Structure 1
Amino acid sequence: MNSVDSGGRLGRRASFVLLVCANVLMMATASAPSPIYPLYRERWGFSVTLLTVVFAVYVAGLLGALLTVGSLSDYLGRRPVLVVALLLAAASTAIFWAADGVGMLMIARVVQGLAAGTATAALAAGLVEFAPEGRPHLGVTSAAVGTGVGMAVGAGVVGLLVQVTRHPDAYVFPLLTLAFVSLAVLVLAIPEPHTRRAGGLASLRPRVRVPREARPEFLASVPALVAGWSMAGLFLALTPSLVGTVLHVTFGAAGGLSIALLFLGNSAGGVWAVRHAPRTVTSLGAVCLVLGCAALAVALVLTSVIAFVIGSVVAGLGAGLAFNGTLRAISAATRAEARAEVFSAVYVVSYTALSIPALAAGLLARWWGLEATAYLYIAFVAALSVIAALHAARSRARRRADDGRARSFPTGSRHRVRTPC
């Protein structure tokens, strides 16, 4: 049962805006280190393989938090969980600020992942609960689009700083630390929309389960989920190095700006998808991912920056469309009381896809080189995208056939079968 704690001093609209800002900042911080990775490699002399490990431990921390404390705000309330998550985020940026080697980078990324995993469910729930009355969908849309916008802003802004200074971390991370502490203080002033209840300790037991009725749609959605999130992993972990060493771009901001293009395309796809049928959206997303992969491969063959920019935008658009379409299709196949459980399983698959292929690419790059590994990675995403597109096309054809049969024999029409009295 939901309620609003009258002790909060901020109104509904101000609380909603504050949580939108917290979501965008959390995601911006997740992508902020990516453009700095090439500088870290030069500074401390570690390999591309170790770089992907630094990236992957973030997802390990995030999944650990998501599987344990992800639903804790349903028991303790949104406000305390969000305050703890924001202070954890402040701790992670402070560790980045003080980092003097790859070991501290890993610690910072783990703490950052814990912060993001702790905040994910509480932010999403809070955005729905504080959304303008009569427009609950605005909360879901803000959570989804805010993720892409935050990732784009973090990578883009830090990418530009890389162009003007060799130590962007000395400027970025102190400001982020201050921002997170300030947000934690402000969150204390929002109303508490959720009543505390017992069972918080039991909720910490890790559990991932998909109910029987949702399994066919869930399993059918896995190729599209893995393809879209694997593409994001490629950009966050390896693109800054790829742009410099394979495309020979000397502009320091290029790596961060390419990540920003991917996530801006992702956000645009999420916004457009709201008004269209899930299967249509998934089909178009899978096709865009295939086209984006083709453009990225051409860019590497021809060392074409223009083709790489086009591929980044189209692949980002495809990832955003595919994720939105699959999430809505899975939601429609799931009972309301099991929806949070199924969404947790969706995010476990998604974040695993974000990290494991990127980590594997880092290991392969050690023997095959970065360019050959990038071709294999792109082919992997393209193959999954083709599978997703074929399944979505079959599903649409089956749905049209079912609709055609339903129109031929409408309920209550003169064609119904008469039974003897």
Structure 2
Amino acid sequence: MTVASPGPRTVAAAMFACGWGGNQFTPLLLMYRRTGGYSVLSVDAFLGAYVVGLIPGLLLAGPLSDLHGRRRVMIAGTAASVLASAVLAFGATGPRPIYAGRLLTGIAVGIAMSVGSSWVKELSTASGDPTLGARRASLWLTAGFGLGAGVAGVLAQWAPWPMVLPYLVHVALTLPALALLPRVAEIRPVRGPSGAPRERRGLLRDLRVPVPGRRTFRLLILPMAPWVFGAAGLAYAVMPTLVDDRLGRWGLLYATALTVLYLGTGAAVQPLA
């Protein structure tokens, strides 16, 4: 049996925490509509702010970590996740903290998905299993997505301070992982063996899809990606609003169950893939 070293476990824990923060907001959409009086359009805009942050996190964080090291960028992403929840805790005061918090959340999740996954895979090479790192990163991130939504929904349904407590729980969960990240080995140092800075390629060059993978990217990944995320959006963002008037006080719990079921299924099938 392969025993993981503390390095990949620590990074995976940070990815888990970022995933938790990324999806804890989703089942609370109905709460913001009811308690905050926001329209459907405003609530959809809150989700849109997350996507706006996710895009640069996914596209730019990887090349930046090639230049400045995985550790530095992942620490910044995990810190952004903590800051996002701290800002969202002030969401009861108006929409601006929600927009800002969701934007930061998207950046944090994008960094976890790109830099965190790469770092975990690099730290897991000593295991002898070439697929261990990818499976570990994907499983921990997806588990964070699902558990974050589940715990936040339950707290908002039955615990006091429903618009504050879920975010404080996430902050408390993430801070230990953030404190341990500086101790993890830097697999991709900024300087080469001679001490000179590594060659810096252009950002546009880093964003290009390698020639051998372009056909697969265009014919398979590009057309499928919107359906993957669109199905998720329909499952736990649109459906609860369509049946909200029939569920009464159980609407929030219904939205939570949908979110956990969708993401829990994704996490459960990964060991079988």
**Unmatched runs of 5 consecutive residues or more in structure 2:** 192-196
Distance 1:239 1:203, change over 3 A: farther
Q: Residue 180 of structure 1 aligns with which residue?
A: 174
Distance 1:261 1:249, change over 3 A: farther
Distance 1:119 1:166, change over 3 A: same
The reply to whether residue 164 of structure 1 matches residue 154 of structure 2 is no
**Do the aligned partners of 2:156 and 2:163 also contact (CA within 8 Å) in 1?**
no
Q: Residue 194 of structure 2 aligns with which residue?
A: none
Return the TM-score normalized by structure 1.
Answer: 0.57
**Do the aligned partners of 1:129 and 1:136 also contact (CA within 8 Å) in 2?**
no
**Do the aligned partners of 1:82 and 1:123 also contact (CA within 8 Å) in 2?**
yes
Deviation at 1:75, TM superposition (A): 2.2
SS at match of 1:135: coil
Q: Residue 105 of structure 2 aligns with which residue?
A: 112
Q: What do residues 80-122 of structure 1 show as CA deviations (whole Å, max 9, x unaligned)?
A: 1111111111111110112211221011101111222233322
SS at match of 1:193: coil
Partner AA of 1:126 in structure 2 = W
Q: Residue 84 of structure 1 aligns with which residue?
A: 76
**Do the aligned partners of 1:130 and 1:139 also contact (CA within 8 Å) in 2?**
yes
**Do the aligned partners of 2:117 and 2:134 also contact (CA within 8 Å) in 1?**
yes
Q: Residue 101 of structure 1 aligns with which residue?
A: 94
Q: Residue 19 of structure 2 aligns with which residue?
A: 27
Q: What do residues 350-407 of structure 1 show as CA deviations (whole Å, max 9, x unaligned)?
A: xxxxxxxxxxxxxxxxxxxxxxxxxxxxxxxxxxxxxxxxxxxxxxxxxxxxxxxxxx
SS at match of 1:161: helix
Deviation at 1:269, TM superposition (A): 2.9
Identity within the alignment, % = 24
1:142 counterpart (112, 129, 136): 136
Distance 1:175 1:165, change over 3 A: closer
**Do the aligned partners of 1:68 and 1:203 also contact (CA within 8 Å) in 2?**
no
Q: Which has the larger radius of gyration?
A: 1
Q: Residue 14 of structure 1 aligns with which residue?
A: 6
**Do the aligned partners of 2:27 and 2:153 also contact (CA within 8 Å) in 1?**
yes
Q: Distance in 1 between matches of 2:199 and 2:73?
A: 12
Distance 1:80 1:53, change over 3 A: same
Q: What do residues 126-170 of structure 1 show as CA deviations (whole Å, max 9, x unaligned)?
A: 211222520231110112222322111111111222221363232
Q: Distance in 2 between matches of 1:116 and 1:33?
A: 13
Counterparts of 1:214-253 in structure 2 under 5 Å?
Answer: 214-221=213-220, 222-245=222-245, 248=247, 250-251=249-250, 252-253=252-253
Q: Which moved more, 1:215-224 or 1:71-80?
A: 215-224
Distance 1:97 1:193, change over 3 A: same
SS at match of 1:45: coil
**Do the aligned partners of 1:38 and 1:241 also contact (CA within 8 Å) in 2?**
yes
Q: Residue 256 of structure 2 aligns with which residue?
A: 256
**Do the aligned partners of 2:63 and 2:207 also contact (CA within 8 Å) in 1?**
no
1:52 counterpart (44, 58, 66): 44
**Unmatched runs of 5 consecutive residues or more in structure 1:** 1-10, 274-421
Deviation at 1:175, TM superposition (A): 2.4
**Do the aligned partners of 2:14 and 2:178 also contact (CA within 8 Å) in 1?**
no
Q: Distance in 1 between matches of 2:234 and 2:247?
A: 18
The reply to whether residue 123 of structure 1 matches residue 122 of structure 2 is no
Distance 1:148 1:118, change over 3 A: closer
Q: Residue 64 of structure 1 aligns with which residue?
A: 56
**Do the aligned partners of 1:96 and 1:173 also contact (CA within 8 Å) in 2?**
yes
Distance 1:24 1:122, change over 3 A: same
Q: What do residues 198-255 of structure 1 show as CA deviations (whole Å, max 9, x unaligned)?
A: 468755559643345433322221333322221112234334323423x536423221
Q: Residue 41 of structure 1 aligns with which residue?
A: 33
Q: Distance in 2 between matches of 1:185 and 1:196?
A: 22
**Do the aligned partners of 2:66 and 2:188 also contact (CA within 8 Å) in 1?**
yes
**Do the aligned partners of 1:52 and 1:238 also contact (CA within 8 Å) in 2?**
no
Q: What do residues 39-94 of structure 1 show as CA deviations (whole Å, max 9, x unaligned)?
A: 11122211111111110111111112322233222222222111111111111111
Q: Distance in 1 between matches of 2:217 and 2:71?
A: 32
Counterparts of 1:269-308 in structure 2 under 5 Å?
Answer: 269-273=269-273
Q: Distance in 2 between matches of 1:230 and 1:159?
A: 22
Q: Which moved more, 1:126-135 or 1:233-242?
A: 233-242
Return the TM-score normalized by structure 2.
Answer: 0.85
Q: Which moved more, 1:196-205 or 1:256-265?
A: 196-205
Q: Distance in 1 between matches of 2:228 and 2:160?
A: 32
Partner AA of 2:157 in structure 1 = Q
Q: Distance in 2 between matches of 1:150 and 1:249?
A: 28
Partner AA of 1:254 in structure 2 = Y
**Do the aligned partners of 1:75 and 1:196 also contact (CA within 8 Å) in 2?**
yes
Distance 1:152 1:124, change over 3 A: same
Distance 1:194 1:215, change over 3 A: closer
Partner AA of 2:173 in structure 1 = A
Partner AA of 1:181 in structure 2 = L
RMSD, matched Cα: 2.5
Q: Which moved more, 1:203-212 or 1:185-194?
A: 203-212
